[in-house]
């Protein structure tokens, strides 16, 4: 006959037994572009989410690396944070990569899949905080398809947004509006519009008057220098700069 008290003690010992398996070591990666910073989706939000995810999933977080103000379309040479995380994973310093979303890896779907497969081949899965059902270390056709569909849809939506922005700029430019870039001499950017720059407008008038009188570009450069006028960036006036002023205003 079994002793109930002995059985109860054995059950308690079983419940109290701890899992001796080593915790997976994780490296977090976070990224925001300049536009996302403006929208308030900053690094701090992603950092906190990655840390909570690691705690909830019993992952030992080694470090969180990041790239601030960097577009996901940039290559690894411009994304030091991601390159560092990948190097440490391949060196065996961590077991998995934790990201806020998969699109933090890359805006381009093909590059995203290349990174996913590269880490998968090395036994380094990627975990997504906001997409917990997406597994990158599985051969399950359904899960692979879901991940790829989400990536493709994201790329498609971004292409639409870029298309709308470009179309809007073209329409505005056709109407004579300011769509970015360095304003020509005599003007300056006032938020989204171009306005006259009084100091530079005076330079433009001098250049145009001297050119109409037959002065060479080099002679105009000498005259501007002698009168105390300075170019925007260079240390001295160059004939090509003067020529661009003339061509823009004539």
The residue written with tokens 């922005």 in the block is 165
Contacts of 243 (CB under 8 A, 6+ apart): 217
**Two structure tokens written together for 177:** 């509006």
33 is catalytic: yes
Contact call for residues 89 and 124 (beta carbons, < 8 A): yes
CA distances from 19 to 7, 16, 96, 111, 145 (A): 22, 10, 20, 38, 34
Phi-psi sector, 181: left (phi>0), alpha (psi -120 to 50), beta: left
Question: Quick one: which H or E segment has residue 163?
Answer: helix 141-174
Contact 81, 29 (CB under 8 A): yes
Other Cβ atoms within 10 Å of 247 Cβ, number: 9
Widest Cα–Cα separation across the chain: 120
Catalytic residue among 33, 84, 128, 212: 33
Which helix or strand (DSSP H or E) is residue 68 part of?
A: strand 60-68
Q: How far apart are CA 190 and CA 245, in angstroms?
A: 20
CB atoms under 10 Å from CB of 102, counted, come to 23
Catalytic residues: 33
């Amino acid at each position: 006959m079994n002793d109930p008290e002995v059985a109860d003690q054995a059950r308690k010992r079983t419940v109290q037994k701890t899992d001796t398996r080593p915790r997976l070591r994780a490296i977090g990666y976070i990224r925001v572009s300049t536009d996302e910073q403006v929208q308030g989706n900053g690094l701090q939000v992603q950092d906190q989410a990655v840390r909570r995810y690691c705690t909830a999933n019993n992952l030992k977080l080694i470090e969180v690396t990041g790239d601030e103000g960097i577009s996901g379309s940039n290559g690894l040479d411009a994304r030091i944070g991601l390159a560092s995380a990948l190097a440490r994973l391949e060196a065996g310093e961590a077991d998995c990569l934790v990201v806020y979303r998969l699109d933090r890896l890359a805006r381009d779907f093909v590059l995203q899949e290349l990174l996913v497969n590269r880490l998968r081949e090395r036994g380094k899965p990627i975990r997504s905080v906001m997409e917990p059902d997406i597994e990158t270390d599985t051969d399950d056709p359904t899960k692979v398809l879901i991940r790829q569909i989400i990536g493709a849809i994201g790329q498609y939506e971004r292409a639409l947004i870029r298309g709308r922005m470009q179309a809007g700029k073209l329409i505005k430019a056709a109407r004579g509006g300011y769509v970015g870039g360095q304003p020509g001499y005599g003007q300056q950017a006032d938020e989204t519009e171009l306005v006259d720059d009084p100091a530079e407008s005076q330079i433009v008038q001098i250049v145009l008057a001297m050119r109409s009188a037959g002065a060479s570009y080099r002679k105009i450069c000498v005259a501007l220098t002698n009168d105390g006028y300075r170019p925007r960036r260079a240390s001295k006036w160059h004939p090509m700069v003067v020529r661009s002023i003339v061509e823009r205003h004539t």
